């Protein structure tokens, strides 16, 4: 039997920038929690065999209740105090799985990830050990140092990363082993860890979607409610 593909839904954060007084993934948009939307997207995808939810401590029972209706939601585990620590918690749960296992890490805070985006990541994992999802930058992106523009990369080469990010389990494990041994560890996502600690592993970038926004600040909830209930223009 082929190894089951695992989707890890990272919901271990507490939503400081949202300031809702509880983790933002527990906010409802379109009549379902943000976490519920994210689990549903992976549960419904035929290429996904299993969903692991990583939740902020103190909210495990709420996450278990949200995950309960989804047949593929195999485990709800406690995260750590950084996104990196939450990813590591998931990797520990997957310790016994073969290295060729495909694993996708998704921000629970992106409730509108769709089947097409998930499918592109899974397809790209046939030929690559690491896959990211990007959308072209609309704004010009500049590097600012000490209040001055240090460099201005050509906008056509700039992408904004979204999730899911997909990996062969063996590769992401190796990357984290090296990362955890580095006292200067710094990264905002899992591809950042691969890029830094396994520089020889190419990271394939596939197209994301403008709908796949990360609900981060209060304005994003207004946009998310609209997207959940009123549909959206072609994007």
CA distance 166 to 105: 6
Binding partner selected for residue 82 from Mg ion, ligand CTP, none, CB under the kind-specific 5 to 8 Å limit: ligand CTP
Residues 212-231 that bind ligand CTP (CB under 6 A): 214, 216
Binding partner selected for residue 86 from Mg ion, ligand CTP, none, CB under the kind-specific 5 to 8 Å limit: ligand CTP
- Out of 30, 47, 49, 80, the residue judged to bind ligand CTP by CB under 6 A: 80
Shortest distance, CB of residue 123 to ligand CTP, whole angstroms?
A: 24
Residues 11-70 that bind Mg ion (CB under 5 A): 13
Measured from the CB atom, is 83 or 174 closer to Mg ion?
83
CA distance 75 to 52: 5
Distances (CA, A) of 54 to 87, 94, 115, 145, 171: 8, 12, 21, 35, 20
By the rule CB under 6 A, 36 interacts with ligand CTP? no
Measured from the CB atom, is 39 or 169 closer to ligand CTP?
39
Residue 94: asked if its preceding bond is cis (omega within 30°), the reply is no
Determine contact, residues 86/40, Cβ cutoff 8 Å: no
Determine contact, residues 104/165, Cβ cutoff 8 Å: yes
CA distance 48 to 12: 21
Compute the 3-state secondary structure of the chain and give helix, strand, coil in percent, each to the nearest 5: 35, 25, 45
Binding partner selected for residue 79 from ligand CTP, Mg ion, none, CB under the kind-specific 5 to 8 Å limit: ligand CTP
Binding partner selected for residue 15 from ligand CTP, Mg ion, none, CB under the kind-specific 5 to 8 Å limit: ligand CTP
By the rule CB under 6 A, 16 interacts with ligand CTP? yes
Interface with ligand CTP (CB under 6 A): 10-17, 25, 54, 79-83, 86, 107-109, 214, 216
């Amino acid at each position: 039997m082929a190894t089951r593909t695992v989707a890890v839904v990272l919901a271990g954060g507490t939503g400081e920038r949202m300031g809702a007084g509880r983790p933002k993934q527990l906010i409802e948009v379109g009549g379902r929690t943000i976490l519920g939307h994210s689990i549903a997207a992976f549960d419904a995808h035929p290429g996904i065999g299993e969903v692991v939810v990583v939740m902020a401590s103190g909210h495990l029972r709420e996450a278990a209740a949200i995950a309960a209706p989804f047949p593929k939601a195999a485990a709800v585990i406690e995260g750590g105090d950084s996104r990196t620590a939450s990813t590591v918690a998931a990797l520990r749960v997957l310790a016994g799985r073969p290295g060729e296992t495909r694993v996708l890490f998704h921000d629970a805070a992106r409730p509108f990830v769709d089947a097409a985006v998930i499918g592109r990541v899974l397809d790209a994992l046939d030929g690559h050990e690491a896959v990211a999802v990007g959308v072209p930058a609309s704004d010009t992106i500049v590097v600012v140092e000490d209040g001055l523009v240090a460099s201005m990369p050509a906008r056509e080469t700039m992408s904004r990363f979204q999730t899911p990010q997909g990996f062969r389990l063996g590769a992401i494990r190796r990357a984290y082993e090296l990362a955890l041994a580095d006292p200067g560890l710094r990264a905002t996502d899992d591809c950042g860890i691969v890029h830094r600690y396994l520089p020889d592993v190419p990271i394939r970038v596939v197209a994301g979607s403008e709908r796949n926004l990360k609900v981060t600040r209060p304005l994003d909830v207004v946009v998310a409610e609209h997207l959940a209930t009123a549909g959206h223009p072609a994007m």
